[in-house]
Structure 1
């Protein structure tokens, strides 16, 4: 049983195109094209659209049996969006919700710096991405561990900044696009348009920021350890012992 679970975890790989299709494109098209009274209606289209990311996120969490704070917040976001639409709450709550999710992650990243398990180690500096053991061994040999931790803390502040950027942009985008009463056909169409625009306007810039942080982390590791990129990546071949 244990071996099977571990094998499943090891073979699980990110599928960004499938995530994009199920979580953004399909729900957005449903909201914009099927919300009319002659089709599914506003409530029916909203329920169907939300079912895709909700089912996919639940499947990922259940199948791989691994707690994922960000995935859990994503599921919560979907449920809150559905609640706002179905209960016909003021659409101002949608803007607050859109800002709250990445904002909470940004706060969690900052708070984690005061704990034994900073979130940057979970997101970037972890054993699935980098050969952490080899890096720490080289840092200790060169007496550079303290300097590395200081730079890792700086990268953590930048990482939290990417989530605060997403929070502000989400709020602005929601206030700009979603202006119709919640629960209406127009509200669903605007919600779908907001989801589509959020990818080029928010997700891509945030991804570029994460790549910049990872590059800074890699340059720090290379500068303090002398290791090449292929030597620090996870699953790199072990060094030959003399």
Structure 2
């Protein structure tokens, strides 16, 4: 190392965290479970109960793998695991399908209420979803907001974005409930019920996830535009370094 070299100059750049494959997520959490429930629930294959166990094992083990890989508990992964266990428990105990519909609606609704309630705390959930240092250069934004005396205006923007995020969860809650009630019409414990559970899983992405994602994207666009106006920074200037 020469006299002009500094630790910052000689330090090797940190490789960005490897992103999970969207295809792997879709296969393990939606496509494979749906196919198992629809095609392998007959007595000649796994049977109704074992088909549920095997189908739900894929997203359950995938969530546990994420926990073991990162070495820390993820609130949303944990919530997903609880949802899977509840679906499996309700199905295996052959309870009325309305309980699955209630469960499907309850979890996103709770997230929506939590997003709103968190506005009264020091850690609003909108910062987890949209305004975080994995996506944005929060230090630069905070510095420029202070220079422009726009901190209070930005806090109001965060509140508005929080309501938009909450709206995406409430939309998901309503769609989840009606999708479950519409599709799950056969008696639990039957091959037909498993096929319907698989169909509901398969339809969850286009019917529920996509509309909710559209609302989240609108919230993100709103937040980014407001940050640009309040700070005077361009989009590429507010993004975190690994997103540029």
Q: Calculate the TM-score normalised by the size of structure 1.
A: 0.92
Partner of 1:3: none
- Please state how far the C-alpha of 1:9 moved relative to its aligned partner: 10
Distance 2:222 2:183 in 1: 35
Match of 1:32 in 2: 38
The alignment status of 1:143 with 2:149, answered yes or no, reads yes
SS at match of 2:241: coil
In the alignment, the residues of structure 2 paired with residue 60 and residue 9 of structure 1 have an alpha-carbon distance, to the nearest angstrom, of 19
Shift of 1:107: 1.2
Q: Distance in 2 between the 1:226 and 1:233 partners?
A: 14
Query: What does 1:83-94 correspond to in 2, within 5 Å?
Result: 83-94=89-100
- Taking the aligned partners of 1:9 and 1:67, their CA distance within structure 2 comes to 23
Q: How does 1:84-233 map to 2 (within 5 A)?
A: 84-233=90-239
Partner of 1:49: 55
Aligned to 1:4: none
In 1, the alpha carbon distance for the partners of 2:206 and 2:34 equals: 14
Q: Shift in Å at residue 16 of structure 1?
A: 2.2
Question: Residues of 1 paired with 2:213 and 2:22: CA distance?
Answer: 12
Displacement, 1:35?
Answer: 0.3
Post-superposition shift, 1:13? 2.0
2:3 aligns with: none
CA contact (8 A) 2:167 2:215 kept: no
Deviation track 1:13-69 (CA, whole Å, cap 9, x = no partner) reads 243221111000000000000001111100111110000000001110121023322
* Mapped contact 1:178–1:191 kept (Cα < 8 A): yes
* Separation in structure 1 between the aligned mates of residue 73 and residue 149 of structure 2, nearest angstrom: 35
Note the alpha carbon deviations across 1:121-147, whole angstroms, 9 max, x for none.
Answer: 011100001000000000000000100
- Relative to structure 1, the CA distance from residue 10 to residue 50 in structure 2 (aligned partners, 3 Å threshold; closer, same or farther) is same
CA deviations 1:62-84 (Å, max 9, x no partner) are 21023322111110010001001
Residue 11 (1) aligns with residue 11 (2): no
Which residue among 16, 26, 29 is the counterpart of 1:20?
A: 26
The match for 2:87 is 81
Q: Structure 1 residues 184 and 156 mapped into 2: Cα distance closer, same or farther (>3 Å)? A: same
Residues 120 and 114 of structure 1, relative CA distance in 2, 3 Å threshold: same
1:63 is aligned, of 56, 66, 69, to 69
Q: How many residues align?
A: 231
SS in 2 for 1:227: coil
- Aligned CA-pair RMSD: 1.7
